[in-house]
Chains A and B, each alone.
Chain A
Amino acid sequence: DAKTTQPTSMDCAEGRAANLPCNHSTISGNEYVYWYRQIHSQGPQYIIHGLKNNETNEMASLIITEDRKSSTLILPHATLRDTAVYYCIVRVESSNYKLTFGKGTLLTVNP
């Protein structure tokens, strides 16, 4: 699986959009970008994943650059409950048994 680089921490004001970047410059053509988050000491939670097109679901949007070397997770209207560690994971879809978590980004949403 390709390695990812994320900022250690970020702050966001409540109600504003939170944009979390992830670099994955060594991503292969068949690798997807996944995002999970972990609210303090709870189990990780799946957010979204995508290959090259932008994706949106009820939780977030995922923007992947055209060269696929980086991506951004967007929480459109961050709330205090979105404070968590966000993990960007790159892996081949449905072909690997495990998730390899890095250190992630601690997003703190401030009132």
Chain B
Amino acid sequence: DSGVTQTPKHLITATGQRVTLRCSPRSGDLSVYWYQQSLDQGLQFLIQYYNGEERAKGNILERFSAQQFPDLHSELNLSSLELGDSALYFCASSLAYSSDTQYFGPGTRLTVL
């Protein structure tokens, strides 16, 4: 158990819909990262927040957005969903802005039908 929690574990929705994935980092960690893992693309970095502020963006689509709240939990919002958005979404956390060790949550499996 990494100490990072993600909800829900599974999400099934239809194309065009919007969903919100939630992540609670390890106690004391200030940095949250979101990754997407699909069968054809592997694990891809999406975005990072540090202490409430966006710090880095990776291959995140404009239809996706995220935020980190004062209690440090983070949400990833996915809108206008397409079939290709079906994937595992992982959240990771670390103590500092750029840490050697990122602790990953169990992931949310999103299925878009």
Q: Contact partner of B33 among A49, A98, A100, A102, CB < 8 A?
A: A98
Residues of B near A98 (CB, < 8 A) are 33, 45, 48, 56, 58
Bound: A32/B99 CA distance, A: 13
CB of B107 within 8 A of CB of A41, answer yes
Which residue of B97, B102, B107 has the most chain A CB atoms within 10 A of its CB atom? B102
Residues of the A chain whose Cβ atoms lie less than 8 Å from the Cβ of B107: 41-43
B103 CB–A CB distance under 8 Å:
yes
Residues of B within 8 A of A (CB): 2, 4, 33, 35, 42-45, 48, 55-56, 58, 88, 90, 92, 96-107, 109
Residue on B with the closest CB to A41? B88
Partner of B42 from A32, A41, A45, A103 at Cβ < 8 Å: A103
Whether B98 contacts A96 by the Cβ 8 Å rule is yes
A-side interface size class: 20 to 34
A39 to B91, CA, bound (A): 16
10 new A-B pairs (CB below 8 Å) besides A32-B100, A99-B35?
A41-B88, A41-B107, A43-B2, A43-B4, A43-B105, A93-B100, A97-B55, A97-B98, A98-B45, A101-B42
Given contacts A93-B100, A94-B99, contact A45 B58 (CB under 8 A): no
B33, A94: Cβ atoms closer than 8 Å: no
Residues of A with C-beta under 8 A to B45: 97-100
- Select which of B42, B48, B104 is within 8 A of A97 by beta carbon: B48
> What 0/1 pattern do residues 65 to 92 of A give for CB contact below 8 A with B?
0000000000000000000000000000
When the two chains form their complex, are residues B56 and A97 in contact, meaning their CB atoms are under 8 A apart? yes
Chain A positions within 8 Å of B102 at CB level = 44, 46, 99
Partner of B90 from A32, A44, A95, A96 at Cβ < 8 Å: A44
Please give me the residue from chain A that is nearest to B56 by CB atom.
A97
B35 to chain A, nearest CB (A): 8
